[in-house]
Amino acid sequence: MSTAEIQKTAEHKMQQSLESFKSSLTKIRTGRASPGLLDTVHVEYYGSMLPLSQVANLSLLDARTVGVAPWEKGMGAKIEKAIRESDLGLNPSSQGDLIRVPMPPMTEERRKELTKVVRNEGEAAKIAIRNLRRDANESVKRLVKDKLASEDDDRRSQEDIQKLTDRMIIEVDRLVASKEHDIMEV
């Protein structure tokens, strides 16, 4: 493995960590409705547990309401029960074939709790990225030790990996600030 391959692998893994962080941010409620909030809800469908998006059409009805339209008539009650029993704190209501899921208004205290959760998620993402930097630097050092790369390659590679790490951490900080702004916005 060359230093360039190590850098490319590190960049790919850091990008995956960033995508995972973005995914976890979508699950944190901001007071506005988003079909992504229901991604974690699973519904029993013919003996197996399926994500809600695979048994119903999810849409935004307005800024604070998600609409869930089951693809089969008999699924409405099961979907409603699954949403109610999820840890999202949502209370769906049926209107014919459509299930309305209103987002309750958030209290100031809850907003502050959520900003702490966002910061903790951001810190975990930064730690993952720094660990990937460490692993990449160790791999390059092994190449130098085994005489497969020069000391100059080591130094250049470490600088490149550090620049990549800095770029990823800046992106994490930007995402955290954006999510905090969304949460605190009334």
Predicted local distance difference test score (pLDDT) of residue 70: 93
Quick check: 58 and 82 in contact, CB under 8 A?
no
Predicted local distance difference test score (pLDDT) of residue 56: 92
Which amino acid appears at position 41 of this protein?
V
What is the phi/psi pair of residue 57, to 5°? Answer: -95, 125
Which residues have CB under 8 Å from 81's CB, separation 6+?
A: none
Quick check: 69 and 79 in contact, CB under 8 A?
no
What whole-number distance in Å separates Cα of residue 101 and Cα of residue 94?
A: 9
Predicted local distance difference test score (pLDDT) of residue 12: 95
Report the Cα 78 to chain-centroid distance in Å.
Answer: 26
**Chunked mean pLDDT (size 10), the chain, 186 residues:** 90 94 80 78 89 91 89 89 84 90 82 86 94 94 90 92 95 93 78
Predicted TM-score of the model (pTM): 0.69
